């Protein structure tokens, strides 16, 4: 199905989705991994609901968004599709926790106890739970959200007191660089951190890798790759 994207360009979302899934599977095979171990999370931010409908028709049931209001509007659009799940992947401000708790199924950007407590209060009132990934700033870039690796355990030890949050693992955004070694180091650092932490504090999952580096992320243990432009085309600049 060909759909018009956020920037007015027609793309074949179904064909792109199938191609990216095939590339993910190939990267798994190349890494000696079972393709069934890696989820593809289509990131639909800035694209209109019609584009998501094309992905839904092609079999997608999980969509990633980074703006709370946009995600809430899309969740409302798909309210008659109870099998659709929503993953928030952008930095979450504490004043948006109640809104996110009402519709999101996953949060890939937990990086503060204040946000965690806000989510828990709202989820408890709504009788909902939320899968969360703690975000790690594996590149040590000051402009990026996420916790320094050495600060992750201090947050994790507080989360068992917030049972509406199910900690599935860690998430990271690698360095945006043409230096493959530097990008790989971010993934290696995040995987090593997960392996060093007490397993009773978090799941074993790793949300890492995007359109330009997901094969490298898979080689270093990613279990969810977040892919947007390779599926939906160029985003509207905001």
Give the per-residue pLDDT at 159.
98
Give me the chain's average pLDDT, please. Answer: 93
As a CATH number, domain 2-232 is 3.20.20.10
H helix runs in 60-164, sequence order:
68-77, 97-103, 113-126, 152-156
3-state secondary structure of 156: helix
pLDDT in tens, 72-125: 999 999 999 999 999 999 999 999 999 999 999 999 999 999 999 999 999 999
pLDDT in tens, 7-55: 445 689 999 999 999 999 999 999 999 999 999 999 998 899 999 999 9
Q: In the β-sheet with 39-42, what is the strand arrangement from edge to edge?
A: 39-42, 224-227, 205-207, 165-172, 130-136, 106-110, 85-88, 62-65
The tokens describing 219, both together, are 């080689």
pLDDT in tens, 148-197: 999 999 999 999 999 999 999 999 999 989 999 999 999 999 999 999 99
Is pLDDT of 2 > 60?
no
Give the per-residue pLDDT at 123.
98
């Amino acid at each position: 199905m060909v759909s018009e994207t956020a920037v007015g360009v027609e793309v074949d979302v179904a064909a792109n989705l199938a191609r990216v899934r095939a590339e993910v599977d190939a990267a798994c095979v190349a890494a000696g991994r079972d393709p069934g171990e890696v989820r593809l999370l289509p990131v639909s931010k800035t694209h209109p609901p019609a584009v998501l409908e094309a992905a839904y028709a092609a079999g997608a049931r999980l969509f990633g968004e980074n703006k709370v209001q946009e995600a809430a509007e899309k969740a409302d659009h798909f309210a008659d599709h109870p099998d659709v799940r929503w993953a928030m992947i952008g930095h979450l401000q504490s004043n948006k926790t109640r809104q996110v708790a009402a519709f999101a199924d996953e949060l890939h950007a937990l990086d503060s106890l204040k946000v965690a407590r806000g989510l828990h209060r709202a989820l408890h009132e709504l009788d909902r739970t939320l899968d969360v990934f703690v975000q790690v700033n594996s590149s040590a870039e000051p402009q990026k959200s996420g916790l320094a690796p050495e600060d992750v355990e201090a947050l994790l030890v507080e989360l068992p007191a917030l049972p509406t949050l199910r900690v599935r693992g860690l998430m990271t955004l690698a360095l945006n660089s043409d230096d493959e070694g530097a990008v790989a180091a971010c993934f290696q650092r995040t995987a090593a951190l997960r392996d060093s932490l007490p397993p009773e504090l978090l799941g074993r999952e790793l949300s890492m890798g995007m359109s330009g580096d997901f094969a490298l992320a898979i080689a270093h243990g990613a279990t969810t790759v977040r892919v947007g432009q390779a599926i939906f085309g160029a985003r509207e600049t905001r």
